[in-house]
Amino acid sequence: MRSDSDGTGSRPQVVEHPKTALIAVDVQGTFADDFPDAGLPVSGAARTVDAIRDFTLRAAKLPGVVAVVTSQDWHPEHLPGHIAGSGEAPAPSLGLFPRHGVAGTPEAELHPRFATPDLLASVTDQVRKGQHAAAFSAFEGTDASGRTLEEILRDAGAEHLVVYGWELANCVAATALGGVEAGFDVVVVTELCSVLDPEHKDDVLGELTGGGVRAVRTADEALAMLERASSPA
């Protein structure tokens, strides 16, 4: 909220900005195709890191942005039904993945080109997910104090979510749809998402829009949208 007086003693103008949260999903080494020994690298993910960081930094400065949240897979070494064990062949289409995002390992940390000091200074909250079971949506994660993502967003007063990160068909989609289910207005920025199977990208976007998620193609479009929302009426 901002009050502006015209210096004449008239009643100050009160400007209410729509309250928006940014959610950067799983931008961590384990999914990056430029990270040594990444457990589940997605082709092209590394090309999006700088754009994700730059968008987050620029958007975080806008007056309507009340929270900047990152999520991370934070799995145990063995997670039956989600991470293939000894003698099991990974089958991602069936939800069984290679070892990835193991808690405390370098690959589970945020990608180093994303987690720069200025970026981390703009982050308000971090959630980790998948400690006990497969968890695709950031809404299944909690912060260090045990708050769920929904609790974090409600505490911040957020009404709108801008979601992006890795990877579109799985964790980004699950987070976006989870946001709609929780009652938020949700936008996904497709340029800022890695895509595990590019041939099915349109199908995924169709599922998202069918589920109430709005898709914005570029980071510039998303920034323009946020800037318009942050401008006085």
pLDDT value at 113 more than 70: yes
For residue 79, count CB atoms less than 10 angstroms from its CB and return exposed for 0-12, middle for 13-18, buried for 19 or more.
buried
> Tell me: the pLDDT tens digits for 172-182?
999 999 999 99
Q: Are 154 and 15 in contact (CB under 8 A)?
A: no
Q: Looking at residues 205-226, what average pLDDT do you find?
A: 97
pLDDT band at 5; cut points 50, 70, 90 = very low
pLDDT of residue 232: 65
> Tell me: the pLDDT tens digits for 62-111?
999 999 999 999 999 889 889 888 878 888 878 888 899 999 999 999 99
> Tell me: the pLDDT tens digits for 139-161?
999 999 999 999 999 999 999 99
> Tell me: the pLDDT tens digits for 41-50?
999 999 999 9
> If you average pLDDT over every residue of the chain, what do you get?
91
pLDDT of residue 100: 94
pLDDT value at 205 more than 60: yes
94's tokens: 């069936």
Helix-helix angle 173-181:201-210, to 10 degrees: 10
pLDDT of residue 88: 86
Q: Looking at residues 182-187, what average pLDDT do you find?
A: 98
- Please tell me the distance from the alpha carbon of residue 137 to that of residue 147, in angstroms, as a whole number: 15
- The ranges assigned to domains in the chain are 16-83+95-230
- Does CATH place domain 16-83+95-230 in 3.40.50.80? no
pLDDT of residue 49: 98
- Please tell me the distance from the alpha carbon of residue 198 to that of residue 169, in angstroms, as a whole number: 10
Q: What is the largest CA-CA distance in the chain?
A: 78
pLDDT value at 233 more than 70: no
